[in-house]
C-alpha cells in the first residue's frame, strides 16, 4: 500500500505539449532577459486563480436592487464595475439583460474569450469545440443539455464574443427573493447564470 | 450613432447607422481574422457601435493597427444564417464585426 501511494505521488510522466513548451520557453526567456521576474509571473497566476464568479455575482445583485445602477451597467459595464471597486482595466464589458421575452447567452466561437476578471477562469466546457460550434448553430439543444428548456416565445440571443468586447448576462431576479439583501441575492447568481446557460432560482 | 465605448485612437470614420442592413464580406484572407467563417456573406443589421479599436489583423503582424476601425455589433436572424435552424423564428445571433468587413446590403 505504501509502495502504491509513493508511485501515485510521482505522477504520470507526460512530455510537454507544443503549447506548454512554447509557454515555458517564452516565460523563461522573459525572465532571463529581465523583462519579468519569476515572482511577478507567480503573483499574476495567483491573482488569476483567486478571481471567482462571486465578483460578477456582486454586480448582478447590485443591478437587481438598484435600477439606476442597472441602467449604468447596461450603458457602460466597465464604468459600472469600477463603481463597485472592481478594477477591470482594459476590459470593455457589455452587460446583456434577460427579460421575460429575451434570453441571452455567451460564446466565443473563435477561441475562448471570457470576462475572466469578473468570472475567473472559464470552465473547460466553455472552451470545448462542442460548445463553441453548437452554441451558435443549435443553442436551444445546447441549453436543454444544461437543463434549461425555454419556450419558443422567448427569443434566444447568442452573443459571439469575437473582438474587443466581453460579455456578462444580467439574469432576471427570480420570484421568491423579495426582501433579500444584496449578499443573499448574490449567493444564487452562479457562473453559469452569467454565461447564460442557467437561470438563478430562489430555492 | 454614439459609440458605447469612447477610445482615443486615430480612427476611420464610422459609416453605418443603427439598424442599417449590412452584409459581411465574403472573403478568405490569411492571418488573424476575427470575423468568423460561418457569418461571411450573411446579412444582418447594426445593433450598436461598440467604439473604434486597432485592427487585430494588423496587430497580429506586430503593427499598430491604426487608424482604428469602428467595431459594430451586428444582429443576424438565425433562420437567415442556418436555413434549417430548428429553434424559434425570433432567435438571433449577435457578433462583433469590424467596419472593413462590412458592406451595405
Domain definitions of chain A by residue range: 18-50, 52-195
* Cell (9 digits) for A126: 466553455
Asked whether the beta carbons of residue B91 and residue A139 sit closer than 8 angstroms, the reply is: yes
ipTM score for this prediction: 0.97
Q: In the predicted model, what is the mean pLDDT of residues A36-49?
A: 93
* pLDDT score for A189: 98
Searching chain B, which residue's CA lies closest to the CA of residue A141?
B87
| Average pLDDT value for chain A | 93
Whether the predicted pLDDT of A167 surpasses 50: yes
Whether the predicted pLDDT of A85 surpasses 70: yes
Q: In the predicted model, what is the mean pLDDT of residues A112-141?
A: 95
* pLDDT score for A87: 82
Which of A123, A141, A117, A90 has the alpha carbon at shortest distance from A193? A123
* pLDDT score for A177: 97
Whether the predicted pLDDT of A6 surpasses 90: no
Residue listed under C-alpha cell 455567451: A106
pLDDT band at A176 (very low <50, low <70, confident <90, very high): very high
Q: Which of B38, B50, B93 sits opposite A92 (nearest CB)?
A: B50
Kindly state the percentage of chain B with pLDDT values over 70: 100
Q: From the candidates A81, A113, A161, A193, which is the catalytic residue?
A: A113
- A108 as an active site residue: the answer is yes
Least confident of A7-11, A67-71, A129-133, A168-172: A7-11
Return the CATH architecture of domain B21-104. Answer: Roll (2.30)
SS percent in chain A: helix, strand, coil, step 5: 45, 10, 40
Asked whether the beta carbons of residue B95 and residue A160 sit closer than 8 angstroms, the reply is: yes
A–B CB contacts, 8 A cutoff, strictly below: 84
Q: Which of B38, B50, B78 sits opposite A164 (nearest CB)?
A: B50
- A193 as an active site residue: the answer is no
Contact in structure between A122 and A175 (CB atoms under 8 Å):
no
Least confident of A8-17, A38-47, B16-25: A8-17
Query: Which residues 108-167 of chain A have a CB within 8 Å of chain B?
Result: 109-110, 136-141, 152-165
A188 phi and psi angles, rounded to 5 deg: -100, 0
Asked whether the beta carbons of residue B38 and residue A109 sit closer than 8 angstroms, the reply is: yes
* pLDDT score for B45: 98
Fold of A52-195: Nitrile Hydratase; Chain A (3.90.330)
Concatenating the DSSP letter of every residue in A90-107 gives T-EEEEEE--SSEEEEEE
Q: What is the pLDDT of residues A98-123, one digit of tens each?
A: 999 999 999 999 998 999 989 999 99
Amino acid at each position: 500500500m505504501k509502495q502504491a501511494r509513493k508511485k501515485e505521488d510521482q505522477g504520470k510522466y507526460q512530455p510537454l505539449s507544443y503549447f506548454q513548451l512554447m509557454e515555458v520557453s517564452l516565460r523563461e526567456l522573459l525572465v532571463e532577459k529581465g523583462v519579468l521576474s519569476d515572482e511577478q509571473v507567480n503573483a499574476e497566476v495567483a491573482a488569476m486563480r483567486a478571481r471567482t464568479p462571486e465578483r460578477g455575482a456582486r454586480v448582478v445583485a447590485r443591478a437587481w436592487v438598484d435600477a439606476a445602477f442597472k441602467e449604468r451597467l447596461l450603458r457602460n459595464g466597465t464604468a459600472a464595475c469600477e463603481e463597485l471597486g472592481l478594477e477591470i482595466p482594459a476590459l470593455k464589458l457589455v452587460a446583456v439583460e434577460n427579460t421575460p421575452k429575451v434570453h441571452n447567452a455567451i460564446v466565443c466561437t473563435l477561441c475562448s474569450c471570457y470576462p475572466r476578471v469578473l468570472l475567473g477562469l472559464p470552465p473547460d466546457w466553455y472552451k470545448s469545440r462542442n460548445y463553441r460550434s453548437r452554441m451558435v448553430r443549435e443553442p436551444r439543444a445546447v441549453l436543454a443539455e444544461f437543463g434549461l428548456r425555454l419556450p419558443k416565445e422567448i427569443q434566444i440571443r447568442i452573443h459571439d464574443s469575437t473582438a474587443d468586447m466581453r460579455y456578462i448576462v444580467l439574469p432576471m431576479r427570480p420570484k421568491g427573493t423579495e426582501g433579500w439583501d444584496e449578499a443573499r441575492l448574490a449567493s444564487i447568481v452562479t457562473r453559469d447564470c452569467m454565461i447564460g446557460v442557467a437561470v438563478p432560482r430562489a430555492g | 450613432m454614439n459609440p458605447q465605448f469612447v477610445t482615443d485612437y486615430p480612427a476611420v470614420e464610422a459609416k453605418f447607422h443603427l439598424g442599417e442592413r449590412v452584409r459581411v464580406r465574403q472573403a478568405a484572407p490569411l492571418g488573424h481574422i476575427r470575423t468568423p467563417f460561418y457569418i461571411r456573406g450573411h446579412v444582418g443589421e447594426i445593433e450598436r457601435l461598440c467604439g473604434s479599436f486597432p485592427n487585430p489583423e494588423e496587430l497580429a503582424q506586430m503593427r499598430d493597427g491604426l487608424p482604428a476601425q469602428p467595431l459594430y455589433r451586428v444582429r443576424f436572424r438565425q433562420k437567415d444564417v442556418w436555413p434549417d435552424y430548428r429553434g424559434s423564428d425570433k432567435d438571433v445571433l449577435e457578433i462583433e464585426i469590424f467596419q472593413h468587413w462590412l458592406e451595405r446590403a
